Structure 1
Amino acid sequence: MNLFGKKSSEKKSSEEVDKRPDGLDRLPAGQYLTKKWPVLSYERTPTGMPSDWKFKVTGQVEHPFELNWEEFLALPRTTMTSDFHCVTSWSRYDNTWEGVHIREILQRARPLPTAQFVLARSWTGYTTNLPLQKLDDDDVMIVLKHDGQPLEPDHGGPVRLLVPKLYAYKSAKWLDGLEFLEKDHPGFWEQRGYHNRGNPWQEERYW
């Protein structure tokens, strides 16, 4: 199933020429700005979280661990604002996210020197891969709320990964685990032609 569709007719604003702190255009090439949040998923939205849900950290780490839902909710929380870029060409600015910063997880797991890549897993069976250095970034979170409200199921709620510097297919919905790997392992969309890296500013949409 190809998620690409026609671009919106929404008008561009002067915000689109803003620059990021690193000097890149705030709006990546080939993207259009929207205030909506389109729902795009290959799978059907789950009817609910599994009763036995656990967040599992496995693979090349010193301390593999599992957390049930109550234990996960007890982790320290952070709130950040970032833009969100979909491979289907839309971008949404100034999303406020609340959740667990990825470094809360990394500090507990302590990845081994052999850990170079990560495979994010969803309880639906979805997977997506990324280099560890892309996961270990200041703005990466495991999200529970969006703009002050619990994250809706259609958008990956109640828990999803957020990697805002990459296209949104790298931000796995319905997250239940991270597997740390020595070698890269392409995920669901990456095996079906979407780019392995997914950098919006390089328009890495397809292999």
Structure 2
Amino acid sequence: MVIKCYLTSNKGLSDKGVEYVVDCPVNNYVFKSISDLTWLIKQFIRKMNYNGELEFHSNENIGTTHMLYKYRICLEDKYIGIRVVSQYNSVIRILFTIPDRSLIPQVSFEKYDASKDIVKTNYRVRSGRIPPGQYYIPNLIVYSILGGLKGKDLSNWRIEIRGEVENEFELNLADLYTLGLKTIKTSFHCVTGWSIDEVEFTGPLLRNIIERAKPRESVKWIYVECLDNYSTIIPIDEALNDDAVIAIEMNGKPLEIEHGYPARLVIPQLYGWKSAKWVNRLLFLSEYRDGYWEALGYHPRGRVEYEERFKKS
């Protein structure tokens, strides 16, 4: 069996005990049962020379078209997590979450090329329309996968604009109010499948900040860092959209902490994990870099209309 693998890491994952992720795309292995799936995983484990007991942990729906199966390999004093991504009973990725460097398998690693997963198409997700693989619920579900802010002092909060730009600068909350506010009424779509309709966000357009920063021509990505060590990455073209904002208000009121106060991204055409909360740095890059969920196999762009939930290449 020939296995293609990528090796990646992320600070937020490190905070949760995952130092590295080994990401293995699979060429649509069709399975009919958990036994079939377990057999495939054992082939990967054998190739990577892991010795330990394999345990099935859980599974969850990611939208109505994808399923995430979780296993783990139990070693003497540690375990390696395994995440199997399937679409319509076809395995498309297997990921190993590694707790320390000594457990990185001795295999050849390739460099992930995000450009292979980016296809240029103009579109807009319309409010009220159910996108593929989604379903509407009445209220927003609140996540804080890294524990939220836990009483952090926000009195000196700033968004830092850094990276491959002509102008690096910082913005506090008062500065954001001076940049010209836009209110958008939009749907919000979580990659797990739920959506809510007609939620309002208010804030300056990301485009205004990008224009002030003057990125170099080579810049293709904005890497977003947050106060809780969460991160994600956005193609700069998506950030230039007419309704991509740094939100400081929600439904006519200042953001509450649980919704991202002091400021969060809102990019309606992308799945919700891209609309990061508690943003404190925008880093302009010419080279792709995995954020938190991207390191776990999620798509580098994440367009809702095209169900870009997971990486393809």
Asked whether the two chains share a fold, i.e. TM above 0.5, the reply is: yes
**Cα RMSD between the aligned structures?**
2.4
CA distance in 2, matches of 1:63, 1:166: 27
Q: How many residues align?
A: 194
Residues 65-80 of structure 1 correspond to what in structure 2 (within 5 A)? 65-80=169-184
TM-score normalized by the length of structure 1: 0.84
- Equivalent position to 1:147, from 244, 251, 269: 251
In 2, the alpha carbon distance for the partners of 1:24 and 1:30 equals 13
Q: 1:128 — aligned with what?
A: 232
Match of 1:191 among 282, 285, 295: 295
State the match for 1:172 in structure 2: 276
Partner residue of 1:204? 308
Partner of 1:109: 213
Instruction: Give 3-state SS (helix, strand or coil) of 2:247's partner.
Output: strand
**Mapped partners of 2:228, 2:260: distance in 1:** 11
Alpha-carbon distance, 1:192 to partner: 1.4
Gaps of 5+ in 2: 1-15, 17-57, 64-121
- 1:131 Cα deviation (Å)? 1.0
Structure 1 residues 137, 48: CA separation in 2 closer, same or farther (over 3 Å shift)?
same
Identity of aligned residues (%): 35
The residue aligned with 2:141 is 38
Q: 1:58, 1:65 within 8 Å by CA — same for their partners in 2?
A: yes
Aligned to 1:51: 155
Deviations 1:154-182 (A, max 9, x none): 12122101111000000111011211001
Aligned residue runs from structure 1 range 6-17, under 5 A: none
Change (3 A) 1:193 1:109: same
Alignment of 1:91-106 (within 5 A): 91-106=195-210
Check the 8 A contact 2:245/2:267 in 1, yes or no. Answer: yes
Distance 1:70 1:90, change over 3 A: same
Please give the alpha-carbon distance, in whole angstroms, between the structure 2 residues aligned to 1:121 and 1:36.
Answer: 26
Work out whether residues 247 and 266 of structure 2, in 8 Å CA contact, stay in contact via their aligned partners in 1.
Answer: yes
Distance (whole Å) between structure 2 residues aligned to residue 184 and residue 150 of structure 1: 33
> Unaligned stretches of 5+ in structure 1?
8-20
Q: Give the CA deviation at 1:50.
A: 2.8
More relative contact order, 1 or 2 (CA 8 Å, 6+ apart) = 1
Distance, in Å, in 2 between the alignment partners of 1:43 and 1:24 is 29
Give 3-state SS (helix, strand or coil) of 2:210's partner: helix
Q: Which has the larger radius of gyration?
A: 2
| Cross-structure match for 2:266 | 162
Give the secondary structure class of the aligned counterpart of 2:207: helix
Residues 68-117 of structure 1 show CA distances to partners (whole Å, capped at 9, x for unaligned) of 33333333222121111001111111111111111221121111101111
Q: CA deviation at 1:24?
A: 6.5
Alignment CA distance shift 1:49-1:195 (3 Å): farther
Contact 1:55 1:72 in 2 (8 A): no
1:62 maps onto 2:156 in alignment? no
Question: For residue 91 of structure 1, what is the amino acid of its counterpart?
Answer: S
Greater CA deviation, 63-72 or 106-115?
A: 63-72
Determine the C-alpha separation between the residues in 1 that align with 2:304 and 2:203.
24
Counterpart code for 2:145: Y
CA distance in 2, matches of 1:135, 1:75: 16
Change (3 A) 1:6 1:86: closer
Q: TM-score, normalised by structure 2?
A: 0.57
- Contact 1:3/1:88 (<8 A) preserved: no
Q: Deviations over 1:101-142 (max 9, x none)?
A: 112211211111011111011111111002110111101000
Call closer, same or farther: CA 1:4–1:128 in 2, change over 3 Å.
farther
Which of 227, 241, 252 is the matching residue for 1:137?
241
